[in-house]
Amino acid sequence: MLSIVSTPIGNLEDITLRALRILKEADYIACEDTRMTGQLLGHYDIPNGGRLMSFHSYSGFSKVEKIIELLQEWKHIALVSDAGTPGISDPGFILIKKAIEAGIIVTPIPWASAVLSAIVSSWFDCHQYLYLGFLPVKKWRQTMLKSLQNKEYTVVVYESVHRIEKTLSEFEAYFGADTQIVVGREITKKFEEFKRGTIHEVIEYFKWEWKVKWEFVIVF
């Protein structure tokens, strides 16, 4: 069985009892960064026991095949990401797809979500929303932005510190400086912050802090 285990997106207390049980019981834990997952296990006194195996965006197909082989041997594998739910803006979906194709039982262990945390903390309608993950860096980026100019629903995107300034400047050009927006950073962590206002106001607010190592969630 493959368990898709959601882990905290920042605050280590944001994890379910069921997730902790699965992390204790699994034969192996496939994770993006064994060091980060090791810290999570250590925080909850869960023995590692050599169960951690790396699985990230640079893992080749041979690693996927190896994990599928273990699953076919009736091993229970917990799939985790560095933060949040595997398969959402991370390489977990590849393994999940292959496991399903191989007839493996796949079960979700849900909880923390930066998307849901950001959208319910914004002032936008939550009934209909579109999650786009990270916007394309080059190909289709301009086409996608143009397609959102007349949107009738809330949109949520992720952005890194390396591109947040450029992305918000593009938003200002495509959607107008007075368009309302919410930018969240360090969600659930000690320095959690949500900045609400026009695109121009948010750019002015953050312009001296672009180099700070944050990850951002944008809702508009």
pLDDT tens column, 147-171? 999 999 999 999 998 889 999 999 9
The stretches of 16-60 forming alpha helices (DSSP H) are 17-25, 34-43
Q: What is the band of 14 on the pLDDT scale with cuts at 50, 70, 90?
A: very high
Q: pLDDT exceeding 90 applies to what percent of the chain?
A: 76
What is the tens place of the pLDDT at every residue in 84-116? 999 887 788 899 999 999 999 999 999 888 999
Kindly list the structural domains of the chain, giving each domain's residue range(s) and its CATH number in brackets, ordered by start: 2-109 (3.40.1010.10), 114-219 (3.30.950.10)
* Order of all β-strands in the sheet with 28-31: 52-54, 28-31, 77-79, 2-5, 106-109
Token pair of 159 as six digits: 């952005």
pLDDT at 24 over 90: yes
Greater pLDDT, 72 or 208: 72
Q: What b/e readout covers 135-162, taking b as 16+ CB neighbours within 10 angstroms?
A: beeeeeeeeebeebeeeeebbbbbbeee
- DSSP-based three-state secondary structure for 30: strand
pLDDT at 211: 60
